[in-house]
Chains A and B, each alone.
Chain A
């Protein structure tokens, strides 16, 4: 620690240079944090990564096809199944056609939905009770409520797209969970609207199994049961179901990974160049220190510490700026794109920040390594004569 002062002073030897280098680290880290959060938001797991023992049954051909409601009872009878709720993705238009006003609207069976099925969500029992009792009510994720500022008792209109009816729903309260981007309303209310599939079909079945060990068995039982019917099914775990949307995003995930890696490499080069320039200008000084009795290991440590310290400063600043300035800005920037529904789950988690911080340390070590070794190997007499 007694050497810290020396390292610190050397980091700020040329202020412009340090500010510029730190600046480039800040920019890159902000970018990485934003991109990582974007990936995380798209991959949001409703159970908050705890695993949920939940399955989604969809039509084997894909989501665009309906399943007959008659399947519900047969699924419920499979041993190990705790609760089944038919659900319909309404996909209605709220306010106007703009993508930023789009959000997940799902019908459900309110009797069991929060109590037996989506039971890792947190909801006030009074709200849950009111939701059950009021047929035209809806509940929504807290983040979604924050976005639209819904008040209790407020009515919203959802104009159907592929289901040609308009719903008039009244807001009763919010729930909290890993995925707070959806609104839920009664299956029965949708049926009352007398659309072409009312009381006949559903989009998916959302179900819960008592024991995680039963998931594979239940999955194959369901799919076998309907294999040769008019509506064959494809049963997925909740996580797989979410992932299937991500897969649809194509290679965006891989793309973001590659971009992150390449720009990290680029910033490592920038830092390495800075450290190398700084070390080259100090050849004489380094030799003087060696003359005073500092060993090659000391010099190595000093140069490496300078690189790491500089990266760390950049990392710290980058993480703070990302969290308080750029991520909120990013959410705004994407608000008018179809990414908006995903961004409801956009949060800067501690683990992302920690990872970004560690990455900055890694950049410092990688960047400082070569110049540090070169500096430590300078022959004192050459350095004093400045021939290096």
Chain B
């Protein structure tokens, strides 16, 4: 079997609130292969978002290892982690989280400002990303001038513009109507199939979860089930 892209080994996460210790994740082990599309499911408070944050490198575990692309990101410093994030992970939020003061173009360009790319090169990358999400005609619109679905597509363009290997999405369809949600899911499938992005998505919508290759269930911080979906079976075959 191929080396996994993401390997989560005996991960524990404990939050401290004053003197109280709240265990959120308890000995979680999970491997995700290159090119896989995994959905994380579970009731609220199950720790699925925490697990996603750990994979995205915006939080670090109390114990255990998170090896991504051969690197244990549980053990590296904040600055290096930030650099690692900007190269390796694209994050998609439930509420899109675009910067209201910037246009669609400028929002997508934001991660590229951290690279040594020249202005013209940045423009090319941004245009490519916006073309993939079919919003090349909305470049100069501000977020408030866009619909929810459009905003989420801009957010996806922002996530893929620096060509990261992994996309993590936290309830990306949670705030959208059915039609827009479907568009986003189609887009994610396409990014997975066509561009080979490894995707980890948190959702509580079983229909959305079914679009992934695997569904991982969490409850009370413990990994419960890890099942292959029909889509996953079809891909294997």
Contacts and interface: CB of A to CB of B under 8 A. Distances in A.
Interface stretch (A206-214, A288-296, A359-367): A288-296
A293 B111 contact: yes
For A13, A292, A298, A380, the residue with the greatest tally of chain B CB atoms inside 10 Å of its CB is: A292
A5 B59 contact: no
For A3, A5, A380, the residue with the greatest tally of chain B CB atoms inside 10 Å of its CB is: A380
A135 interface: no
For B86, B99, B106, the residue with the greatest tally of chain A CB atoms inside 10 Å of its CB is: B99
B17 to A, nearest CB: 10
B83 A293 contact: yes
Contact of B111 (A2, A285, A292): A292
Contacts of B216: none
Nearest to B161: A292
A289 B79 CA distance: 14
Contacts of B111: 292-293
Interface string B19-60: 000000000000000000000000000000010010010110
Contacts of B110: 6, 289, 292
Interface string A217-249: 000000000000000000000000000000000
Interface range for B: 20 to 34
A284 B113 contact: no
Interface in B91-122: 91, 93, 97, 99-102, 106, 110-111, 113-114, 119
Contacts of A19: none
A10 B50 CA distance: 30
For B56, B58, B87, B119, the residue with the greatest tally of chain A CB atoms inside 10 Å of its CB is: B58
A50 interface: no
A2 B53 CA distance: 29
Given A292-B91, A293-B83, A293-B85, A9 B102 contact: yes
Given A293-B114, A294-B114, A380 B59 contact: yes
A45 B53 CA distance: 68
A296 B58 CA distance: 13
Contact of B101 (A13, A294, A297, A381): A13
Contacts of A296: 78-79
B158 interface: yes
Interface in A12-69: 12-13
Given A2-B113, A380-B59, A381-B58, A290 B82 contact: yes
Contacts of A3: 113
B114 A380 contact: no
B86 A292 contact: yes
Interface in A105-149: none
A284 B102 contact: no
Contacts of B50: 381
Nearest to A288: B97
Contacts of B119: 2
A296 B77 CA distance: 12
Contacts of B102: 6, 9
22 contacts: A2-B119, A6-B99, A6-B101, A6-B110, A9-B101, A9-B102, A284-B97, A285-B97, A289-B110, A291-B85, A292-B85, A292-B110, A292-B111, A292-B114, A293-B85, A293-B87, A293-B111, A294-B114, A296-B78, A380-B53, A380-B58, A381-B58
8 A-B pairs with the lowest CB-CB distances in the bound complex, closest first? A293-B86, A9-B101, A380-B58, A288-B97, A295-B82, A293-B85, A292-B111, A381-B59
Interface of B: 50, 53, 56, 58-59, 78-79, 82-83, 85-87, 91, 93, 97, 99-102, 106, 110-111, 113-114, 119, 158
Given A290-B82, A298-B114, 6 more contacts: A2-B113, A6-B102, A9-B101, A289-B99, A292-B114, A294-B82
